[in-house]
Amino acid sequence: MATIYLIRHGQASFGKDNYDQLSPTGWAQGRVLGRWLAGKVAAGAAFGGGLQRHRETLEALGEGYGQPLPALQTLPGLDEFDHMQVVERFRPEWADRGAMARDLAASGKPARTFQKAYEAAMVRWTSGDHDSDYTESWLGFQARVLAALDELVARADGQDALVATSGGPIAVITKQLLGLSDDKTLAINNVIANTSVSRVLYSGSRRSLAVFNNYSHLEAEDPALVTFR
């Protein structure tokens, strides 16, 4: 059986004008992953969503890997859902980024405050009770990701593949393979580390989850590089 290496992107630039770019920590995480994969994995194909942080994660991985990777094939279906729209539908006042920054700062625990709001916003989105509020529904997102997985398998054609994507698509693929509930899927989405690797074995139409959310490469080289947002 061949292997799909699902890689969550490196840490993005939360709070910056361009969230989609990797932070310095994100670039370091990607290079560490590349060093860890070197000599262990010889992928025949490389895929990513259409986001900058996906592309930069593979660039950083390539720097650490030390030799050319297969040409990147872009699959927009592997892009993350619009997480800020999901949050803003729950907290409309946060459409003003300045207001959000002030609220988070005033809380005294910005990261924890945002996480609590994010988790509540995700419950609202996945409930299906407010689908008209969103550009993409939870069911629509799942269908998009799983269609992209089918296309990826067809294009990989039995080869091992590196895939840079986001936490949401990885959670949806895990949900499909393990038959998880929406609640369990939201729970695992919250613990997927940046540049963690989940391995999906495939042969024809058969697909199995072999490894989920492995970030031992970060722990081994520098535990301070372990991040989840």
pLDDT of residue 13: 74
pLDDT of residue 28: 97
Whether the predicted pLDDT of 88 surpasses 90: yes
* pLDDT tens-place string over residues 2-48: 999 999 999 997 666 677 889 999 999 999 999 999 989 999 999 99
pLDDT of residue 14: 67
Which residues does residue 6 pair with via DSSP β-bridges, in sequence order?
A: 163, 198
pLDDT of residue 204: 86
Regarding the domain delimited by 2-81+136-225, which CATH topology (the fold level of the hierarchy) does it fall under?
Answer: Rossmann fold (3.40.50)
Taken as a whole, the chain contains a residue count of: 229
* pLDDT tens-place string over residues 104-113: 999 999 889 9
pLDDT of residue 22: 93
Reported as a pLDDT band with limits 50, 70 and 90, residue 172 is very high
Whether the predicted pLDDT of 134 surpasses 90: yes
* Mean per-residue pLDDT, 178-194: 96
pLDDT of residue 82: 95
* Mean per-residue pLDDT, 219-227: 96
Name the phi and psi angles at 74, rounded to 5: -90, 130
Domain range list for the chain: 2-81+136-225
pLDDT of residue 24: 95
